[in-house]
Amino acid sequence: MTVSTIFDLSTKHAVVTGGAQGLGFTIAKSLAAFGCDIAIVDIDAEAAAKAAQEITTTYSVNTQSIQADVSKEEEVSAMVDRVLESFPQIDVLVNNAGIVKKIDTLDMTYSDWKRTMDVNINALFLTSKQVGKHMVANGSGSIMNMSSMSAMIANREAQSAYNASKGAVSMLTKSLASEWAQYGIRVNAIAPGYMASQMTGPLFAPGGELEHILEHVPMKRLGRPDELSGIAVYLASDASSFTTGSIIVVDGGYTTW
């Protein structure tokens, strides 16, 4: 295999949770650009269908959209069955679904805490386990989890549940990588810093409530979602055949302080 072909994904099939918008959609498009077939899984059925159609139109790959709440075991199991009705196998799993609640711990309800854990870490466990069984049978696979720089540092905003959940994501990544290497399955995580989006952009703009945060980013700007694309393609492809258990930080240098 040459450098020019090592990133080819044209024989691979990926599942992207929370893939209808945001970072998940960006990663799905990046994989599709290298030929990967894509299953968009999202709790919003309409948005998932729209995202899948856009990917099909733009990249001419096979896509499907599946509505599922991946924090519910029965829905995860049904989702995997549906994917395998259309795709011969699942080569790549992107565990991207996640939420954040910026609530001071003293004001946080147990329901707030539990929902964050259900979506950010329990769903990742459920999806990895179900897809992992399939990958074990195939003898190969790549799982990439969406962690965060918040797994390593405590953000200056009040988001203790999110930070704790992402710390768990990073450790589960390493644990699964250790357990499943014997089956030819690689498990890694991407840990973004502050990323620009339609929702977050105004918060960091001049006069925004989080403008001061950029002073702590050595590159003095937010990341662009597409700046995760290369890493996602790397982790999905054979280029990362000797990479497992890694947490790859993409934060403009924030965690170097």
pLDDT of residue 211: 86
Q: Give residue 142's pLDDT band: very low, low, confident or very high (50, 70, 90).
A: very high
Q: What are the boundaries of each domain within the chain? A: 13-252
The predicted-structure confidence for 12-60, as pLDDT tens digits, reads as follows 999 999 999 999 999 999 999 999 999 999 999 999 999 999 999 999 9
Compute the distance between CA of residue 193 and CA of residue 202 in angstroms, rounded to an integer. 16
Cβ-based neighbours of 244, under 8 Å, separated by 6 or more: 177, 181, 186, 187, 188
Do the beta carbons of residue 21 and residue 253 sit within 8 Å?
Answer: no
Q: Give residue 199's pLDDT band: very low, low, confident or very high (50, 70, 90).
A: low
pLDDT higher than threshold 70 for residue 176: yes
Place of tokens 């990073």: 170
pTM, two decimals, is 0.96
Do the beta carbons of residue 83 and residue 133 sit within 8 Å?
Answer: no
Q: Which sequence positions are flagged as catalytic?
A: 162
Is 3.40.50.720 the CATH classification of the domain at 13-252? yes
Chain mean pLDDT for the chain: 95
Q: Tell me the residue ranges of DSSP E strands in the chain.
A: 13-17, 37-42, 63-67, 92-95, 141-146, 185-192, 247-250
Residues above pLDDT 70, as percent of the chain: 98
